[in-house]
Chain A
């Protein structure tokens, strides 16, 4: 029952069979046959971007807000190379993407043809896997395999490079069910013996902590639900990486806030002082560990991860559990309940008393002002004025990103999209567009800095074209704030190239794109401005002029352990030694 069709039609057919409703892309010579097929159908919406990097970040935003893989279509050569940053971003943050790229015809490969690039060669280290399809008969099954690889195990981006003659030629179409994906089947269930060891430790621990990451969110909503059940039933405190915010609710009783370089004091000290660390789907990134040799010295570490290479990569795991977070947490709960739901109540009580002491430091305190808008204050007002709404937040990269993570609260997974591993400036605006495509009626806010936002600002055109009411909340300090902060702390206050000269007038820019903009500089006008942004029925750019020299605290200086974090301005002189200065 194989059906014959052209390669180009197979692409559309395969996407339809995979349940794809949205493709982000940009046409060009080597994908014209596929665009011809897209023209002749109505099931799949094609979002025309302004730059291929934008397409990939949109697909990332879409994927993170839905849990489904994001799909991108680009042409050969520059189309594919422009996608590289987005692919790398998705690889580091484990976001499932299927990127289809056009290629010069097979008989021209290797001749340095027009818009030819070795796309599979270039993208090999920045995809989970990639394929060059040279035979139309193999095209459909390769696309189905691509979806399988992108979404199974630790998710990630895949790329399928399709030469133009393969798109024109006719072959037989294989559906998802006729495609053999058996050779790639990552383990999902954790080892029961290790799970039992973990439960024994949970029963006895005096100072436990859950350290959760993006793996909980990638595992699906059920994993977040199980985490909440386990954390609340045991009464253990929970901290999360930047990637994992929302898996455990910010309103939950065990919530300590984010940990890491700009994490909360109580979260970092609890990590440093715990006796049982339960890592759930996080990877001991260097933003989290600080100086590895002094990382949480007195704790037994359990590590739940679907990727075996994450175990023991940075921090030695005492109880390694390889498996899908959802499956493992389900088994942990089952075993723990069957053994009588025991915890060390006395120890926990003392532990919480100690944590409350750390919380009393009020580490997110900043000096308020009634003459100038403090960026932290702007985020607190954004939080207050959007609370309870169907809200999604994306960010760019820098100080504003860390403040957003500190001051905004997330009670649900898949509501927070930020570039964690790669730290890609220019991520937030296109990501917000991808999120809005997935959730047309939701409030989607991109918390941005002026410098990051300019990196992909061309995508405002996409937002306007597709009537996507994304809110661009720009904390404008006319600086590359995080770079400036590091230069102040590490490079003798020599502010080399870290200011934004010749910034555009964002209000006029909004008008030029055909949307609406406003500027606010007086704290007294802030609430009205935010409300105007929220209420406006369309894309909106709010240019919030904030304090230019605010630093982001708390901060664990590079090369320092968790218990040597800085809380405020007074402590910042000469704190980073030369060995720390070489770290990023």
Chain B
């Protein structure tokens, strides 16, 4: 039966996806989920993840089309390729979910996150914190004699790096929005 060139494990929705479907390594994927903006819709999406044991690394949600009652949920999740496929299929089953886009495989995308960082310190440490903030192009949005609140947006890895540098300089509090993402191009 091999004359037909059909191999075990071939899948219809992987024509442009050359990853090994049997791979056991976990990958991080950013999913954009367009949903009907109605009460309980976020609970449905989150409940799916917890109920079926999937991971959520980050989640953002906001209405993006008031007239069309559409909200956009951006989820960063982790799993083996087959788990990611399953997550997308399960999301697609939810009656009020219109579309699920896997921005990680559908082409280049931009991912941005906003963070607020409170750094407490005096003397050299305070000067150093300000200097690093300038390198990162963070804004100072609050200042006292012994603290700053910095506002920084960028890729999540940039926020991670900033937090790592600020930690020895007196980082005492941090708030992050989670990832918002869009595909590049039109």
Task: Verify B85–A124 contact, CB threshold 8 A.
Answer: no
B1-30: which residues lie under 8 A (CB-CB) from chain A?
A: 1, 3-4, 6-12, 21-22
How many residues in B have their beta carbons less than 8 Å from beta carbons of A? 30
Q: How far is the CA of A204 from the CA of B93 in the complex (A)?
A: 35
Task: Verify A201–B86 contact, CB threshold 8 A.
Answer: no
Residue from A128, A205, A276, A316 whose CB has the most chain B CB atoms within 10 Å: A316
Chain B residues in 8 Å Cβ range of A528: none
Out of A191, A300, A317, name the residue touching B1 (CB < 8 Å).
A300
Task: Verify B40–A124 contact, CB threshold 8 A.
Answer: yes
Q: Chain A nearest CB: distance from B21 CB in Å?
A: 7
Q: How far is the CA of A197 from the CA of B90 in the complex (A)?
A: 26
Task: Please tell me which stretch of A74-82, A307-315, A546-554 contacts chain B, meaning at least 4 of its Cβ atoms lie within 8 angstroms of it.
Answer: A307-315
Task: Verify B95–A129 contact, CB threshold 8 A.
Answer: yes
Task: Verify B6–A197 contact, CB threshold 8 A.
Answer: yes
Task: Verify A308–B92 contact, CB threshold 8 A.
Answer: yes
Q: Chain B nearest CB: distance from A182 CB in Å?
A: 11
Is residue B111 within 8 Å, beta carbon to beta carbon, of the partner chain?
A: no
Task: Verify A312–B85 contact, CB threshold 8 A.
Answer: yes
Q: Chain A nearest CB: distance from B100 CB in Å?
A: 11
Q: Chain A nearest CB: distance from B46 CB in Å?
A: 10
How many residues in A have their beta carbons less than 8 Å from beta carbons of B? 34
B90-123: which residues lie under 8 A (CB-CB) from chain A?
A: 90, 92-96, 98
- CB-based nearest A residue for B21: A316
Q: How far is the CA of A205 from the CA of B36 in the complex (A)?
A: 46
Task: Verify A309–B1 contact, CB threshold 8 A.
Answer: no
Task: Verify B95–A149 contact, CB threshold 8 A.
Answer: yes
Task: Verify B95–A128 contact, CB threshold 8 A.
Answer: yes
Q: Chain A nearest CB: distance from B15 CB in Å?
A: 11
Interface 1/0s, chain A 181-192, versus B by CB < 8 A?
001100000010
Is residue A320 within 8 Å, beta carbon to beta carbon, of the partner chain?
A: yes
Residue from B1, B47, B92 whose CB has the most chain A CB atoms within 10 Å: B1
Is residue B185 within 8 Å, beta carbon to beta carbon, of the partner chain?
A: no
Task: Verify A312–B82 contact, CB threshold 8 A.
Answer: yes
Q: How far is the CA of A132 from the CA of B36 in the complex (A)?
A: 15
Q: Chain A nearest CB: distance from B3 CB in Å?
A: 8
Q: How far is the CA of A205 from the CA of B98 in the complex (A)?
A: 39
- CB-based nearest B residue for A301: B8
Chain A residues in 8 Å Cβ range of B53: none
Task: Verify A316–B4 contact, CB threshold 8 A.
Answer: no
Chain B residues in 8 Å Cβ range of A309: 86, 89-90, 92-93
Is residue A275 within 8 Å, beta carbon to beta carbon, of the partner chain?
A: yes
Task: Verify B12–A320 contact, CB threshold 8 A.
Answer: yes
Q: Chain B nearest CB: distance from A106 CB in Å?
A: 12
Is residue B125 within 8 Å, beta carbon to beta carbon, of the partner chain?
A: no
- CB-based nearest B residue for A344: B1
Q: Chain B nearest CB: distance from A250 CB in Å?
A: 30
What are 11 residue pairs bridging A and B, where the CB atoms are less than 8 Å apart in the complex? A121-B43, A129-B94, A132-B39, A149-B95, A191-B12, A201-B1, A206-B1, A276-B1, A316-B9, A318-B8, A319-B6
Across the A-B interface, the 10 shortest Cβ-Cβ residue pairs: A309-B89, A129-B95, A308-B89, A309-B90, A320-B12, A309-B93, A316-B9, A125-B51, A184-B95, A204-B1
